[in-house]
Chains A and B, each alone.
Chain A
Amino acid sequence: MKRISVAVSAGAMALCMQLVACTDLTENPKSLITPSTYFNTPGEALAALAGVYAQLRGTAGEGDYWGISEVSTDEMVVPTRGQDWYDNGTWMELHHQSWSATSPGTLSFMNNAWNTAFQGVARANVLIDAMAGSSLPNAAEVTTEARGLRAFYYYVLMDLFGGVPLATTSEIKPRPRETRDSIFKFIESELLAIYPDLPATWDAANNGRFTKGAADAILANMYINAGIFTKDGVPGGINATAYNSCAGIAVSGGDACQQAVVHADALISSPNYALSATYGANFTAANNTSKENIFAVKFAAATDLGFVMLQRTLHYNQFNPSPWNGFATLASAYAKFDSLDQRRKVFLVGPQVNVETNQPVTDRAGAPLVFTTSIANVNAATEGEGARIYKWPADPSHVAQNNGNDFAWFRLSEMYLIKAEAILDGATSAQTPLALVKAVRARAFPGGDTLSAVTLPVILRERLFEFAAEGKRRQDLIRFGAYTQPWEFKTNPEGQDPKRVLMPIPQGQIDVNPLITANNPGY
């Protein structure tokens, strides 16, 4: 019997030998690239760098860093409109600040923000690792930019979640949480380290790539927020109900407030940047030429590459393709604007037109569409309730919902306001806060600006007017100790819990990383 089995196997094997490579199971994908078949030319390295940049789009997403930073504040709300926008209660959870580590909003929005930024980090690390042993002529240049972008992604993570795992290699493995302060210091040291190698500007064909200015802007912002960004939640020293000063916090080069002024000044005095003559020029489809935008997410009027802000805010019948009629501005936020302030024009109120044709439009029931500033019932709003942001006007060459307007994370006007705030907070400068703020306001009040004094609360209001819908409000409210205060639709007690100054790490992310032993304080 044994001989039979031997014969059986021998027969099978003999035949096997006659077939070519009958046991060769190596995979060679043909329509995909593997790292071993890539990074052979400067162009290939540049293409991988485009991949690192591409992740920036996600940060401006409605269910991502941008959405969290707007909808969780007194500036914006996504009302439930009949059947629309209930979405498992996620939008109202975000506005009510009633999230937990496992709530639907966290599992969606916080998780997106975490993944988007960390994938940006991962893409940068893959490229940096590949360039480390590379003899490509642009290896150093590409590495420098990838490090700058990685620093920005860590800035997003640190802002939302505080201390996060820190990875500087492409190896995928669990890593422990660092303190928020060490992430802060990592970003700072990276930006300072690459600073000498970064270009001051790029030519038009490379507009939008990382510059010295981008590094300065991130640093200035980090320093003005140093009273928040170096501290792990309320137990770590954040004051949820009062202004969190940058004064006295030691950063590279000295006092944080003073360094904020130094880096803001680097931009204010730079010939490469200037405030636009008109406010609107920063937001049009041609805003790539704005000398005010320092570091922007570049969008293009091409499928999947465009800005979709219109879809979020406009009514179904105001644009083609049909927008989503979602995000609205709170009446209380709208009311804060001076009626003479040109910047109030970013809101649509009253009878509405199609933004492309300028023809009057109706709601879905056929009645003329009118946007009201107030929302009677945020859980059962009508189609026309709530003022809408129309700050980034439709791109005439939009492809479906994709508009080419760039979205700036840092504009020069913010540097003026950071500098003014830092001076009010103890930094020294030859300029006065009033002059700096008035420099920003000049174009908003062509008829004359009556502002006569600047205090910290004035800065907070001014930042609302200047940066409405630009994803700054959450950061500002936390710094000014106002994030957990009640407002129009957020009167619930959970929304006044001081723990809200930090977002919870989504539980699913903790589940898969045994080295993360604790969530943020209170979660």
Chain B
Amino acid sequence: MRHLSRHVGPILAFLSFIATPLVAQTGTIRGTVTDSVTGQGLAGVSVQIIGTTHTTATGGDGNFALADVPAGTVTLKVSRIGYGPLQRSVTVTAGASADEKFVMSPQASILEPVVVTGYGSQRREAITGSVSTIEASQANVGVKTNFTQMIQGRAAGVDIVQNNGEPGSGAQILIRGGSSISNTNEPLYVIDGVPIVNDNTQPGGQGLGSPSLNRSPLNMLNPGDIASMTVLKDASATAIYGSRASNGVVLIETKHGSTGGSTIEYDGYVAASSPAKKLDLVSPSAYRSFIQDQVAIFNADTASGTPPSSAAGLDPIHLTRLGSANTDWYSAVTRTAMTHNHNLSFAGGTEDTRYRASLNYMMQPGVAISNDLERIQGTLTASHHAFENRVRLAATVTTSRENDKYITYENTGGFEGGVFMNATIFNPTQPIDITDSTGTHYYETGSTSVRNPVALANQIQNVGNTTRTLGQVNGEYDLNPSLTAKITLGIDHSDGARQTYIPKANPLGVALGNGQATQEELANTTRTIQTLLTYQHQSGDKSFDAVGGYEYTQFGSNLVGAQGVGFFTDAFGYNNLAAAASRTDWSSTRDWKLASFLSRVNFGYQDKYFITGILRYDGSSRFAAGHQWALFPGLSASYKINPDFKVRAGWGRQGNPGIPPYQSLVTFNPGTGSTYPWGDVPQSGVSANSNGNPDLKWEQTDQFNLGLDFGLWSNRLAGTAEYYVKNTSGLLEYVQSAAPSNVSETLQNVGKLKNTGFELTLDALAKSTPGFTWRAGLTFAAPTSEVQTLGGASFIRSGRVSGQGQSDQWAQRIMPGQPLGTFFGPVFLGVDSAGKQLFRCGTASATCVNSQTTAPAPEDYAVIGNANPDFTFGLRSSMTWSKIDVSFLIRGSVGGDVFNNTALVYSTKGNALQDKNFLASALPQNDATGLHEPAIFSSRWVESASYVRLQNLTVTYTLDIPALARTARNVQLYASVDNLFTITGYSGLDPEVSNLSTDPNNLSPDAGLAARGIDYLSYPRARTVTGGLRLSF
């Protein structure tokens, strides 16, 4: 150990490397691995000489070869997902070849032997925390744009709700319920050991009303490149990531080259998607007769002497607004879209040098028109082992280009309206386009509040693109057989652009000032340096390993944008801002730094008792001076009661720094809010745009976890049951400041949130006979959350209600004693004979008679729902009959509520007063609510969100073509259906809806991070049929 002092630090160590004598005497190990049930050779079995990085994998026939093995006795280990690992001693003689045969028995596939745990990996037996692993090859079926879709339903306690059906849309990912109210609840993603900063890579766009949701910044990763995903859930596992880990950690390992000879793989599919469900709007003929009926009512009323202004029904003028066309607007803006995806990779190498290169092309048009995502992505990885395997170097570069085409639609909505709003309300008796003296053009009503949705989708240019490169190099050096130093350098650079043009050919473009063009560019760079020292020691029945290191991350971001308004022609599109009559521009920059010291110690005794201790010390620039550094400890232990059962317990503390920079400072900002036109000339001014907070510090989550792992009947049934309690304190929230203050709200650490939950994961090899294998798995999670305090506030309003006439209406309240996502509002009782809605009220008054009122008052509001499910589950199954494999995944969620904001605003027949269409459920034959009754938010619109969905069904056939079999290792054809059916009582499009906002830089509680389960004109989810081919040579 003494020589260590001469090599302080790995960099020095690398530089001071001295050649050591080489041993020339080597031999070869050859062999085959077969399945105990079928007797067939097993492909893809990992073969490793324990204690070394000498590994290979079996080929299609089950054969393997390991060359250049030093003479002597080594321990050979074979492992493959779904089979129990085997190991045995092999004696290698110099210059000779040893022949070994292994017969592996199938078992539950959850039990893979090695688990990535962050800054290293561990044997599954030694895991003391709560860890879920997802085997990518099983999860990457159907159309998977983003790897998060691969986790859905496959990891207990990981709730992933895709924002909507838009290609590449972001998702709300809650691991164990999320731990924050206004801060991000996004887990930390770590790709091949480097934590990723998951900021938006594309400018959000200058929205109309509100911009559409950002697409996921992680679309840049090709699911086909992913080897495995590991979700660290409890604090004892995540504490190693300290300040960024309170929402859990997702570790992603990408595929690397292997020494089993070179391989070429092609995987491609074509998929057809169409909306799984469409809004049930009033049909053109039903709309016509509705208008005619209402006019008849009006005429009868006025004939009996009622003045027109008080007559019921519709003024006859509305008859003149009926057209002669029959247009299904919702169908006009949706379509069946063909996606295609191609992956080509080749990999190979020698014992010392390995490589893998892959290329991906994907084109996914949306099920709405004028909307798509295109991805071109390439990855190169290479590794080299030198100096007798004591030095290991590796590099990975991934570059992707994503081209996005957006349509204008609104997730939250104001008056301008987007494609889906206008498809909902546009008069169904009017045509999409008309031909007159000026030629054929889109039909517009001339009204400023309704616009042709097809024209909106097709005329507005709204595109984005992102080029992102993720590169990392790492070097490892074995200082001695037990001690390894590693240095990793990572760089993540993205350039994202957003370009929009709203032409004057469209009335929206006219309203915005005769054409509005916008260009924005956002550049993000993250640099990471990581140094690790790993020590491993085994003596007798004691095992010990430790890792310690330092990590430094620097993030910088620069945004520049410009907008031009007023064009004499639409010909320029967004490409010539100088042609605009007036222009504005803007730019801003942000940066932050994170420095960390980390350490973990694992101690094992008799392979029965394991203890893990973690200490991480993190400093973030984003907090106030004096509060920047914090300690994040974790401690966990496991005890193997017998070979079948293991109990685990752990505790840890994590943080959440997901706030934008500069929040602790008082900052001054120019802008129109501080500009004043004395002398009638705007005088640029500044004003403080924050209150600063010298006490700003981390949100802190303490989590306790209890787990039981079991493997029964020779590991044919394996599983994990877990219980956790998570207490988050110092919740970061924008709370009102005592007046006067520079701005009304200050970011403060107030509030406490408690999450508890039970999770169960089961994995079974249900049947295994020659010719037939059936594997099945279940994930189950029952989480609860409760806000405990909110500092001084008795409640915070959350979840803005969208739509016309809904200003200042909020669907949810964050209240102590209630979970996040609690719906709060009037209690709906029914509709009276006059067509007025009745609500429950308390104190009798002029407006409250018999505990019923038509005008709900805030004091009568009550808890009317909870967006959180009682439990969620995922059920997967895979049956293999020799060449045919049938697998499916069913997901479900039970007990939650969803607020059907779409129905609130659009199931009111009063829309006809403005010649707007509405949902068929509001027709008089279906609903007694009066024509003049406004849309009032109440329990009427809060529905059960329970559902069971057949997420995916895949049939794979392994081809047996003699001509191919000679050259190809594997040829598979598969067909797959995503979202085949959903069983739900929900009346809207889809009960699975995400929050309103995913902007991590907007912490305002009304921004929606805390809001859940609000469905407003969601982009329809697709039902997709995929046909694909996998080839490997």
Residues on B with C-beta less than 8 A from A118 are: 739-741, 744
A19 touches B552 (CB 8 A): yes
A8 touches B687 (CB 8 A): no
**B679–A206 contact, CB under 8 A?**
yes
CA distance A206 to B681 in the complex (A): 9
CB neighbours of B511 from chain A (8 A): 320-322
Verify B10–A33 contact, CB threshold 8 A.
no
Binds A, one of B313-321, B332-340, B639-647, B1012-1020: B313-321
Interface residues of A in 1-20 (CB under 8 A from B): 1, 3-5, 7-16, 18-19
- Please tell me if the beta carbons of B668 and A90 are within 8 angstroms of each other in the complex: no
Contact with A along B752-792 (1 / 0, CB 8 A): 00000000000000000000000000000000000000001
Q: Can you name the residue of chain A whose Cβ is closest to the Cβ of B548? A: A8
Cα–Cα, bound, A115→B544 (Å): 60
Residue of A whose beta carbon sits closest to that of B448: A322
Give complex CA distance A80, B913 in Å: 13
Q: How far is the CA of A460 from the CA of B550 in the complex (A)?
A: 76
Question: Are A87's CB and B676's CB within 8 A?
Answer: no
Please state if B309 and A380 are interface contacts (CB–CB under 8 Å): no
- B746 at interface (Cβ–Cβ under 8 A)? yes
Distance A76 CA – B315 CA, assembled complex (angstroms): 27
Point out the residue from A26, A104, A304, A322 that lies within 8 Å of B858, measured CB to CB: A104
B677 touches A298 (CB 8 A): yes
Contact A208 B677 (CB under 8 A): yes
Q: B934: which A residues are within 8 A, CB to CB?
A: 80, 82-83, 86, 380
Checking A49, A50, A175, A492 against B846 with a beta-carbon cut-off of 8 angstroms, the contacting residue is: A492
CB < 8 Å: which of A34, A48, A115 contacts B665? A34
Check if A512 sits within 8 Å of B793, measured CB to CB: yes
Size class of the A contact interface (CB-based, 8 Å): 35 or more
Least CB separation from B661: chain A residue: A27
A315 CB → nearest B CB, Å: 11
B666 touches A365 (CB 8 A): no
Question: Are A298 and B678 neighbours in the complex by a CB distance under 8 Å?
Answer: yes
- Is B682 in the interface zone, CB < 8 Å from A? yes
B742 interface neighbour in A12, A104, A122, A400, Cβ under 8 Å = A122
A22 near B: Cβ within 8 Å? yes
Residue of A nearest to B807 (CB): A87
Expressed in whole angstroms, the Cα–Cα distance for A304 and B936 within the complex equals 31
**A114 and B546 alpha carbons, distance in the complex (Å):** 58
Tell me if A367 is interfacial: C-beta within 8 Å of chain B: yes
A165 to B691, CA, bound (A): 18
- Which residues of chain A (450-495) have a CB below 8 Å from chain B? 492-493
Is B18's beta carbon under 8 Å from chain A?
A: no
* Residues in B neighbouring A364, C-beta threshold 8 A: 447, 449, 914-915
- Is A119 a contact of B742 with CB atoms below 8 Å? yes
Chain A 287-329 near chain B by CB (<8 Å), digits 1 or 0: 0100000000011101111000000000011001110000000
Highest count of chain A CB atoms <10 Å: which of B670, B737, B809, B856: B737
Q: Let me know if B678 and A207 touch, CB within 8 A.
A: yes
A31→B8 contact, CB < 8 A = no
Which residues of chain A are within 8 angstroms of B905 by Cβ–Cβ distance?
A: 83
A385 at interface, CB cutoff 8 A = yes
Question: With a CB–CB cut-off of 8 A, which chain A residues contact B683?
Answer: 46-47, 50
Choose among A25, A55, A367, A380 the residue that contacts B628 (Cβ–Cβ < 8 A). Answer: A25
Query: In the complex, are the beta carbons of A367 and B315 less than 8 A apart?
Result: yes
* CA gap between A318 and B105 in the complex, in Å: 80
- The answer, among A24, A80, A298, A511, for a CB contact under 8 Å with B736, is A511
A270 within 8 A of B: no
Q: Which of B738, B792, B806, B808 contacts A172 (CB 8 A)?
A: B738
A303 & B736 in contact (Cβ 8 Å cutoff): no
**B126-169: contact bitstring with A at CB < 8 Å (1 yes, 0 no)?**
00000000000000000000000000000000000000000000
Return the chain B residue nearest A46 by Cβ: B683
With A12-B548, A25-B595, A34-B667: A366-B806 Cβ-Cβ less than 8 Å:
no
Chain A residues, Cβ within 8 Å of B443: none
Q: Would you give the shortest CB distance from A404 to chain B, in whole angstroms?
A: 7
Residue A121 at the chain B interface, CB threshold 8 Å: yes
Q: Which stretch, B187-195, B351-359, B586-594, touches the partner chain A?
A: B586-594
Q: How far is the CA of A98 from the CA of B855 in the complex (A)?
A: 12
Q: Is the CB of A90 within 8 A of B808?
A: yes
Chain B window 670-703, contacts with chain A (Cβ cutoff 8 Å), 1 for yes, 0 for no: 1011111111111111111101000000000000
B619 interfacial by beta-carbon distance below 8 Å? yes
* Identity of the chain B residue whose Cβ is nearest the Cβ of A114 in the assembled complex: B739
For the complex, is B743 an interface residue (Cβ under 8 Å from A)? yes
Flag whether B584 is at the interface (Cβ < 8 A). Answer: yes
A243 proximal to B (CB < 8 A):
no
Question: Which residues in A have their C-beta under 8 angstroms from that of B22?
Answer: none
Q: Which of A482-523 contact B (CB under 8 A)?
A: 492-493, 507-509, 511-515
Chain A residues near B621 (CB-CB < 8 A): 25-27
Collect the chain B residues with CB atoms within 8 Å of residue A10's CB.
8
Asked if A126 contacts B448 (CB within 8 A), the reply is: no
Q: Is the CB of A304 within 8 A of B672?
A: yes
Any chain B CB within 8 A of the CB of A71? no
Judging by beta carbons under 8 Å apart, are B738 and A4 in contact?
no
Which of B805, B809, B915 lies in contact with A85, CB distance below 8 A? B805
Q: A205 contacts the other chain (Cβ, under 8 Å)?
A: yes
Rounded to whole angstroms, the CA-CA distance of A367 and B588 in the bound complex is 49
Interface 1/0 per residue, A353-387 and B, CB below 8 Å:
00000000000111100001000110010100100
Contacts of B448 in A (CB 8 A): 316-317, 321-322
**Is A138's beta carbon under 8 Å from chain B?**
no
By a CB distance below 8 angstroms, the chain B residues around A23 are 595, 619
B797 nearest CB neighbor, chain A only:
A107
Shortest Cβ gap from A93 to chain B (Å): 9
How near does chain B come to A207, taking the closest CB pair, in angstroms? 5
Are A4 and B535 closer than 8 Å at their CB atoms? Answer: yes
Instruction: Please indicate the chain B residues that have their CB under 8 angstroms from the CB of A114 in the complex.
Output: 739
Tell me if B431 is interfacial: C-beta within 8 Å of chain A: no
Q: Check B687 against A13 for contact (C-beta < 8 Å).
A: no
Contact of A88 with B by CB under 8 A: yes
> Does A5 contact B548, Cβ atoms closer than 8 Å?
yes
- Cα distance A84–B934 when bound, in Å? 8
Structural contact, A25 and B914, CB atoms closer than 8 A: no
- 12 example contacts (A-B, Cβ-Cβ < 8 A) are as follows A18-B9, A27-B621, A27-B664, A83-B914, A83-B935, A125-B740, A206-B679, A300-B680, A303-B672, A321-B512, A376-B309, A380-B934
Which 7 pairs between the two chains have the least Cβ-Cβ distance? A50-B685, A8-B548, A51-B687, A51-B674, A304-B672, A322-B448, A300-B677
Q: 9 new A-B pairs (CB below 8 Å) besides A83-B803, A83-B913?
A: A5-B599, A9-B599, A22-B552, A85-B805, A300-B677, A365-B913, A366-B321, A508-B736, A511-B736
On B, residues with C-beta under 8 Å from A are: 1, 4-5, 8-12, 307, 309-310, 315, 317-318, 320-321, 447-449, 483, 485, 487, 510-513, 529, 531, 533, 535, 544, 546-550, 552, 582, 584, 587-593, 595, 597, 599, 619-622, 625, 628, 661-662, 664-670, 672-689, 691, 735-744, 746, 792-794, 797, 803-809, 845-847, 855-859, 905, 908, 910-911, 913-915, 932, 934-937
A residues near B (Cβ < 8 Å) are: 1, 3-5, 7-16, 18-19, 22-27, 29-35, 38, 44, 46-57, 80, 82-90, 98, 100, 102-104, 107-108, 114-115, 118-119, 121-123, 125-126, 164-165, 167, 172-175, 202-209, 288, 298-300, 302-305, 316-317, 320-322, 364-367, 372, 376-377, 380, 382, 385, 399-400, 404, 492-493, 507-509, 511-515
